[in-house]
């Protein structure tokens, strides 16, 4: 058993190195903790703050997946603030005015963040037209649930929570809980959640230890359940 987990750890470490070698972005600053492989590509600029972590071993899709960070054009930028935690298989792709994830944000597994439509909407101009673009900002201390898609021009305010699977097409204010497709504010964080019938409580994925773990400067042993952040 121990041998098997050592072997899995070694295989993962090799994948991390392989994806570093495959990363072709030459304008990267910062040294994140890569628990999962990270591909960083494109001609733009990628700025990664202190204590940023990619991946979490006990969240879904850890083995075999990778995080994709791309600043496609010369002018595009992806910035990830200090202590942000990006869970497995995130795709963060800029070809426009940029994507900024502020300090301490928690980004769930399989999240996608785009600052462009990447193709013109006009038929016949999909490959050579001008896609619409807009800067994206993910606020300080926000919590973006698993499989959320954040589209061009969206600003998510500080501390806000975006429900799992939501598609965020318009900006969300600070200190709000928003969810759905398209994502709408369902309540303010100042309001308590609606009471629930017994047995419908929070699960281990979004219970308090999650936020405690995310604040740790360096990742410790993986907690049980969904892991430290998401």
Ligand X SMILES: CC(C)(COP(=O)(O)OP(=O)(O)OC[C@H]1O[C@@H](n2cnc3c(N)ncnc32)[C@H](O)[C@@H]1OP(=O)(O)O)[C@@H](O)C(=O)NCCC(=O)NCCS
Q: Establish whether the linkage from the previous residue to 102 is cis, with ω within 30° of 0.
A: no
Instruction: Indicate which single residue of 161, 168, 172, 176 sits in contact with ligand X (rule: CB under 6 A).
Output: 161
- Would you call 122 exposed, middle or buried from its count of C-beta atoms within 10 A (0-12, 13-18, 19+)? exposed
Each residue 126-145 as x (binds ligand X by CB under 6 A) or -, in order, gives -------------------x
Among the listed residues 68, 119, 127, 214, the single catalytic one is: 119
Name the nearest CA neighbour of 137 among 97, 165, 90, 175: 97
| 194 part of the interface to ligand X, by CB under 6 A | yes
Selected range binding ligand X among 38-46, 50-58, 67-75, 177-185, rule: CB under 6 A: 177-185
Torsion angles phi and psi, residue 136, rounded to 5: -115, 135
| 180 part of the interface to ligand X, by CB under 6 A | yes
Selected range binding ligand X among 68-76, 90-98, 124-132, 175-183, rule: CB under 6 A: 175-183
| 156 part of the interface to ligand X, by CB under 6 A | no
Q: How far apart are CA 176 and CA 56, in angstroms?
A: 26
Site for ligand X in 103-122 (CB under 6 A): 108
Active-site residue, 119 included? yes
C-beta closer to ligand X: residue 96 or 145: 145
C-beta closer to ligand X: residue 71 or 177: 177
Where b means 16+ CB within 10 Å and e means fewer, 64-87 reads ebbbbbbbbeeebbbbbbebbbbb
Beta bridge partners of 130: none
- Would you call 199 exposed, middle or buried from its count of C-beta atoms within 10 A (0-12, 13-18, 19+)? exposed
Tokens of 187: 């309540």
Instruction: Indicate which single residue of 28, 179, 219, 228 sits in contact with ligand X (rule: CB under 6 A).
Output: 179
Q: Total residues contacting ligand X (rule CB under 6 A)?
A: 18
For ligand X, the binding residues (CB under 6 A) are 108, 145-146, 161, 163-166, 177, 179-180, 186, 193-194, 205-206, 226, 230
Looking at the annotation, which residues are catalytic?
119
């Amino acid at each position: 058993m121990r041998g098997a987990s050592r072997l899995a750890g070694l295989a993962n470490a090799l994948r991390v190195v392989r994806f570093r070698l495959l990363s072709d972005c030459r304008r990267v600053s910062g040294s994140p903790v890569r628990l999962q492989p990270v591909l960083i590509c494109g001609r733009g600029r990628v700025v990664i703050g202190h204590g940023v972590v990619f991946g979490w071993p006990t969240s879904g899709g850890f083995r075999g997946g990778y995080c994709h960070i791309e600043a496609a054009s010369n002018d595009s930028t992806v910035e990830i603030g200090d202590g942000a935690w990006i869970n497995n298989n995130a795709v963060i792709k800029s070809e426009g005015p940029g994507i900024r994830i502020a300090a301490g944000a928690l980004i769930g597994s399989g999240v996608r963040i785009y600052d462009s439509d990447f193709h013109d909407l006009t038929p016949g101009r999909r490959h050579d037209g001008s896609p619409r673009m807009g800067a994206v900002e993910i606020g300080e201390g926000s919590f973006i649930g698993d499989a959320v898609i954040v589209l061009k021009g969206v600003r998510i305010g500080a501390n806000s929570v975006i429900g799992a699977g939501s598609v965020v097409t318009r900006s969300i204010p600070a200190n709000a809980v928003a969810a759905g497709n398209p994502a709408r504010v369902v309540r303010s964080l100042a309001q308590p959640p609606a009471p629930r019938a017994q047995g419908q409580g929070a699960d281990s994925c979004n219970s308090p230890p999650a936020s405690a773990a995310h604040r740790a400067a360096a990742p410790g042993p993986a907690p049980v359940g969904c892991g430290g952040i998401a």
